[in-house]
Structure 1
Amino acid sequence: MCGPYAKHAVPWWWAMRYTLPQYFSPSKPHIDRAKKFFNRAEYTLGSPRRVFFPESQREEGPKALPEIVVMGQPNVGKSSIVRSMVHEDVKVIVATYKGTTKLAHFYKIGFRFFLVDIPGYEEDDKVMGNTIMREVLQRRPMVKSVLFLVDCRGGLTDLEQYRIQHLEQYHVPYTFVVTKCDRASEWQLTRTVRQINKIVDSPWHVRCHREVFLTSAKEQIGIDELMVYMCARAGAMSVKKTEIEKEQSLTIPID
């Protein structure tokens, strides 16, 4: 737990959220409700191709559930973020070396939506991870949002900005999630936040959501807010405008 409901000391980098274009600060009842959804998470399957996705997710239809996709470069912390959200009995493969995730892994969250953990993308478009990324993202309206993970120590790379353009071309909404904040210096985090702010405020990035999340899967900070946000984007719960601090309001169901 984090924010005003934390039981442990808040680290220095948590205050950096005030420099974001918009940060998300849900109430404790919303956090508790989101945790109930994630406590009922189930691992469904891992698939390299759309034809092997869960049957309800292969084509748009009344049985298709919304999806939230976790996307990023290898070893950026995608599986660690998923691991920090779900029950320890749920299958999540986490390792310190890159390339651990080789399939699109589907997790059903409270029978309301799917959380999809895809392999890290690379420069070579022919590698399997990039093929799976396209299978998941292209022409699939059930994808309600992509969590675009960025390692705060390295900042936004040219490859990441290239993939952001792909999301714009695919007409897929995306949200920046900054990972491993506990391992970064103040200079590294400041640089990464400035790079992200520039994209969020750009009129050319129309699919980019204004909310930005600073997280540490190791310290379990920023995860509660992210879980509430995912539930809201997937339509599993709604959040009042008063829950959103700063000027803009979320484009999600409002009570």
Structure 2
Amino acid sequence: MLRLQRLRRLAGASCLLRRRSATWRSSTKNASFSEVLQLEDTKLTGVVFPLQGLERYLAPGVNTASFRIFNPGLDHIHRAEALFKPSGRHVIDYVSSAVRMDHAPQLSQPEVCFVGRSNVGKSSLIKALFSLAPDVEVRVSKTPGHTKKMNFFKVGKYFTLVDMPGYGYRAPQDFADMVEAYLQERQNLKRTFLLVDSVVGFQKADHIAIEMLEEFGIPYVFVLTKIDKAPKGLLVKNVLEIQDFAEKHTQGCFPQLFPVSSIEYSGIHLLRCFIAHVTGNLPMMNS
């Protein structure tokens, strides 16, 4: 509690400056962890640890151990945010796009990639992760299947983030060849983030993607998107079903899922911290 109070005091000055801009607040409220730290405890938990925020909606006796496997302190989350803030020496930028592996940039730093069904909110999530770097151009479209190439974003000297084309509706014709080659050949790939829509849950195409990741032995993790749009009962149902599936039917999946809202920034700070950790930039615990 004392550590939380200290973090809140440290964050207070920067929040006062930000609040002078009504436009900024309307578009990126809660994007900065310093602003989240000003929330009262219940709201803070809901924004930073969405799984834990759902516990009050669960039936008695439901096992929530998997809700806290990756459970960093607020100070770790605060430190991880620095990776997503550009500075003179720390440049965050789009690098290039590729439709084939021989077109992909040869980068040595650790890499993470984001995959998911068309219209699952993948580009919106990446834009939210990079919200503290407004000069980074992440194209977001309401049209499913907008992303047709592998888009590479370099986060300083620390890691690269790859936005993959969506699978399913309006997927590129060469999607399978492109993605399979990337997953099998990219030696510096540390984690694949598989996005699932919280409103509709698993779809047939998601199971195909899971089979591919399991076959290739690729470490991956489920990210549950658009949690601001899902009724609480439906959200709890899908969370428990996906957690149960990960525990019983997968080998390479991290047993804790990450619910997020790109609109309200729920789960974004924890996801930033997890990315920092799996890329070796914030050693804390095994994952």
TM-score bin, normalised by smaller chain: 0.7 to 0.9
The 1:109/1:52 distance shift into structure 2, 3 A limit, reads same
User: Which structure 1 residue ranges, 5 or more long, are not aligned?
Assistant: 57-63, 242-249
Bigger mean CA offset, 19-28 vs 79-88: 19-28
CA contact (8 A) 1:108 1:115 kept: yes
2:104 maps to 53
1:244 maps to none
Q: In the alignment, is residue 237 of structure 1 matched against residue 279 of structure 2?
A: no
Counterpart code for 2:54:
M
2:262 maps to 217
Counterpart code for 1:218:
I
1:64-120 Cα distance to aligned partner (Å, 9 max, x none): 221111110011011111101111110100112211111111111131111110010
Counterpart code for 2:220:
Y
Distance 1:222 1:125 in 2: 27
Distance 2:110 2:247 in 1: 27
Distance 1:46 1:128 in 2: 15
Identity %: 29
Q: In the alignment, is residue 78 of structure 1 matched against residue 85 of structure 2?
A: no
Please state whether the residue corresponding to 2:187 is helix, strand or coil. Answer: coil
CA contact (8 A) 1:108 1:114 kept: yes
Which of 93, 101, 109 is the equivalent residue of 1:42?
Answer: 93
Counterpart code for 2:37:
Y
Counterpart code for 1:234:
T
Residue 158 of structure 1 and its aligned partner are, at CA, apart by 2.0
Number of aligned pairs?
234
2:247 maps to 201
Q: How does 1:84-103 map to 2 (within 5 A)?
A: 84-86=128-130, 87-103=133-149
The 1:4/1:121 distance shift into structure 2, 3 A limit, reads same
CA contact (8 A) 1:182 1:216 kept: yes
Counterpart code for 1:51:
D
Structure 1 or 2: larger helix share? 2
2:153 maps to 107
Residue 189 of structure 1 and its aligned partner are, at CA, apart by 0.9
2:196 maps to 150
TM-score, with length taken from structure 2 = 0.74
Counterpart code for 1:16:
L
User: Which structure 2 residue ranges, 5 or more long, are not aligned?
Assistant: 1-29, 57-63, 87-91
CA contact (8 A) 1:70 1:149 kept: yes
Distance 2:209 2:65 in 1: 22
Q: Which has the larger radius of gyration?
A: 2
Distance 2:204 2:38 in 1: 36
Please state whether the residue corresponding to 2:66 is helix, strand or coil. Answer: coil
Counterpart code for 1:7:
L
TM-score, with length taken from structure 1 = 0.83
Distance 2:255 2:215 in 1: 18
Structure 1 or 2: larger strand share? 1
